[in-house]
Each structure stands twice: as structure tokens, then as C-alpha cells.
Amino acid sequence: MSVILSVFERCGIPATEYAGGTLSVFSPIDGSEIARLHETALDDMPGIIARSQSAFKAWRKVPAPVRGELVRLWGEELRAAKADIGYIVSVEVGKIIEEGLGEVQEAIDICDLAVGQSRQLFGKTIVSERPGHRIMEQYHPLGPVAVITAFNFPAAVFAWNAAIALVCGDPVIFKPSEKSPLSGIATFRALERAIQRFGQAPEGLVQLVIGTMPHGDALVSSPDIPLVSATGSTRMGRAVGPKVAERFGRRILELGGNNAMVITPEADLDMALRAILFGAVGTAGQRCTTLRRVIVHEAVKDVLLEKVLRAYANLAIGNPLERGVLVGPLIDAGAFAMFEQAVAQAQDQGGTLLTGGTRANVEQFPGGYYVTPAIIDMPAQTDVVRHETFAPVLYILTYSEGIEQAVEIHNDVPQGLSSCIFSNNMREVEFFISESGSDCGMANVNIGPNGAEIGGAFGGEKETGGDRETGSDAWKYYMRRTTNTINYSSALPLAQGINFG
């Protein structure tokens, strides 16, 4: 693991930073400690927030396309550091290299999108009911944005928020997850290098906070941070949401998912199989978009299961840094305990364990929590199925009637992030994505629920939080809208025809 130290150095994380501190960071690959980071002093939080506020006063005046130039440079720095940051993601989160690199690519992609967006921060012009009047909307910078990320996407989710916030004119304070801060720091350092090359950013435009819950709390509770973007569990969202609401702040919450795939009698089962594999065992089941439920028609259930079980039997589980391995470790002992608990509960609740569900023996790394991905055939959508377990546990649910029944089962969970249908029947497909279909923020056709591109809006309904980030018009969350009514006549008529004396 000593190679990681030279990668840290190349990414701008020197020994003075990764050693000698109080926050231990472990690699899930073998459970070893890879860094001891220095935590941000809690006393420094007010100063950090104040610096962000003063940076805002300068940054909001920089023309948006010029702000876009900074993000363009960040994209260049990320391209140059892609292999290194991808490697850190793999070591720190346990993703296979391919997925570690994919995550950095996602950060690069959002930079590209944000650069274009920096020339497209537009409002509407609206006709007025009064002669000689015009109405228009403008989008102005909002203020400091706090970005609090989860362990599983430490580079991409920071970039999703920071790239858009920066072009929108907002400074950023970034608190990465204490479980995977190094990937976040490396991504942040690439941004600092871009800032240096850019040469005209105000001091405090982007700041990093290394710490735990109290640090997050300081950001969430501060009235000087108009927008908090937080990714994590529904439990975390329940704590963050009300605190931000209490001070009338804005929030972007990306919380739990319980993503399903409906497989109808007219599905291409080989395609479905491939999507199930990437969806359910990719990232060892630790994506918020991970496939957690398959809702399959009884007519194709046996054929599908046979294919899926055969593929699961050949899954390469082990060192995520080794080519050919598809399933790396869970993040830590806590995640493993949840996995074990879910597998046991599902069986208590009438499920039949078809494969997996145990700790995998990876001899090389006795300290890592590797598991055999579980598939559990459930007689009904019981409590455990309705709960998000952040691990590779796939529940099989069966339907026997039409697509309406499948959708009913599909929507009968508290979460609403991502969903998909496999079918070549346009009636089923259109129903699934219609107003009466999937109630999720994302509903895909003949592709899995995960691995979304950044161009669309990302997020979901119900306990997932209701907000959106990345592409489409998600940028509007990061700006404040003003409606301007302009009178260019020499009279002062009132709207609604009111005659006031």
C-alpha cells in the first residue's frame, strides 16, 4: 500500500497533511490505516464561513463566462490527474479501478457541462398586461454553498456541486465524508491548481473542512450559508433538512434509494442480466442508485434467475486494484454488519436465500470486509425490502398480472430515486414512464437504474429528498431569481386594473 503515499504526494497531499493528525482513514481493501489527517478546528468554522461570505462579494461580480474559465481549467487538471485520483478512490472506497476512473470522468464531465452552462444562465422575458411595461427574470449568484458528501462518490459528487456552484457565482465549502476524505482532497487540490492558473479568484472561494458531524452541523446551521447540498442516508437527511428549513435556507438532499428493475414477459433477458450485474454488484452495492429489487413476471422468472445465478457464481470478488475483479470490499465493519443483518432478516421474513450472503474469504486481505453478493427470493415486499441496505443484497419479487401490478409493487417503498423497466412492449414501457408509472426521480428503459450521465437532472422523490443536482436546470438551485417589472412608459398604471385615487 506504500504506493498510495507517492500518489498522495503527486495529488498535492504531502506527508505533513496525511500523517500526524487525529482523523484516521482506512483502506477497505485490507483494513489498514492509510492516513491520519488533521481535523479542521471547530473554532475555525465561523472564520471559514466569514471568508466564504467575503469571497462571495467579489466572485458574484466576475462575469459568469469568466467564472466558467476557472471550471474549464479544473476540468483540465482533473484530466491530468485522472489516473491518480481514480487510484485513490479505489484504495479509499474499495471501488474497482474501472469504476474509480469512471468517477473521475464524471467529475470531468460535469466541468465540461458547467463551462457551457456559464454562458447559459438565463431567465425568461414575460409580456406585461400593462402598456409600456416588460417583465423579466434574472438569475443572480446565491452565496456560499456547503457541500457535504457521502463516502461512496467522494470525487464526483463534490464536482457535481462545486462546478455548477462556481459558474453560478457561489463560493464553496466542502466537507468530504470522514470515511473517504483523501479522494475529496485530491479533487479539491486539482481545483486549487486551477485557481492558481486562473489567477483572479478571491481568497476563500473554495475551502475544505476536514472533520465529522459537528463540522457538518456548523455549516448546516449557519444562516450565512444559503444552500446546503448533502448526500447520504435518509437518517442524515432527517437531521439536516429541518435544521436548514428552520433558518429558511435552501437544501439539496440526495438520500436513500431503493431502486428496482421491472422485467416483463417481453424483456430482452440477456440485456437485463448485464444491467442486473452492474446494477446490483457494481461498487459492491454501495451506490445510491444500486439495483436493490427485481420485480419479475412469473412467466420469465425461472429463465432469468438461472442466468443471473450462473453469472453470480462466476463473479470475481477480491482486490479491486486487480484487473478482472468486479466486486471489491464493503467500506467497513459497520457496512458488513448491516449486510449480515439484512440477509438474516430477509430469511426471517420468509425469503429464500438463492446465493451469497456470506463473508467472502479473500486470503490476501483478512482485514477487509468482502462479501458474496446475495440474491433473496421474497414472497412479498416485507420491511427489510422496503429498507435501504447499503450492500449487495438483491431482492427478487414476482408479479403475475399486468404492468399495473408491477408498478404498484414498484412504488410501494418509501424511497424514490431511480428505477427501470426491461421490456420491448411499448405499451408497458410508456406506462412505466407515464404519470401513473414509476414514482422515482429517474425512470429508465432497457438500461439499469445506476450509472446515470451528468446531463440529466439527478435526484429523487419521497424519502430520497425531492431535490435535483448535476445537469438539466439543476443550476437554478444555486442561484436566486429576481422578477423585474420594467415600466418604460410615462404613466403608472396598476396591475389588476386597480384605480388607486
From the list 374, 405, 379, 368, the residue with the least C-alpha distance to 391 is: 374
From the list 63, 82, 71, the residue with the least C-alpha distance to 194 is: 71
Q: CA-CA distance, 205 to 201, in Å (whole number)? A: 7
- Active-site residue 254, yes or no? yes
DSSP structural state of residue 134:
E
Q: Of 52 and 438, which CB lies nearer to ligand UN1 in the complex structure?
A: 438
Q: CA-CA distance, 303 to 265, in Å (whole number)? A: 11
Site residues (vs ligand UN1, CB under 6 A)? 106, 150, 152-153, 157, 231, 287-289, 450-452
Instruction: Select which of 11, 111, 168, 288 is catalytic.
Output: 288
- Active-site residue 408, yes or no? no
97-117 helix and 156-167 helix, angle to the nearest 10 degrees: 10
Report helix, strand or coil for 44.
helix
Instruction: Select which of 254, 388, 463, 469 is catalytic.
Output: 254
Q: Of 157 and 267, which CB lies nearer to ligand UN1 in the complex structure?
A: 157
Q: Of 151 and 395, which CB lies nearer to ligand UN1 in the complex structure?
A: 151
Q: Of 68 and 441, which CB lies nearer to ligand UN1 in the complex structure?
A: 441
**CB 279 to ligand UN1: min, Å:** 9
Residue whose cell numbers read 438569475: 139
**CB 150 to ligand UN1: min, Å:** 6
Phi, psi torsion values for 123, nearest 5 degrees: -110, -170
Q: Are 436 and 407 in contact (CB under 8 A)?
A: yes
**CB 106 to ligand UN1: min, Å:** 6
Strand partners, 419: 260, 443
Q: Of 219 and 442, which CB lies nearer to ligand UN1 in the complex structure?
A: 442
**CB 235 to ligand UN1: min, Å:** 15
**CB 422 to ligand UN1: min, Å:** 18
Residue whose cell numbers read 438463492: 354
Q: Are 149 and 176 in contact (CB under 8 A)?
A: yes
Q: CA-CA distance, 236 to 452, in Å (whole number)? A: 23
Phi, psi torsion values for 42, nearest 5 degrees: -60, -30
**Which residues participate in catalysis according to the annotation?**
254, 288
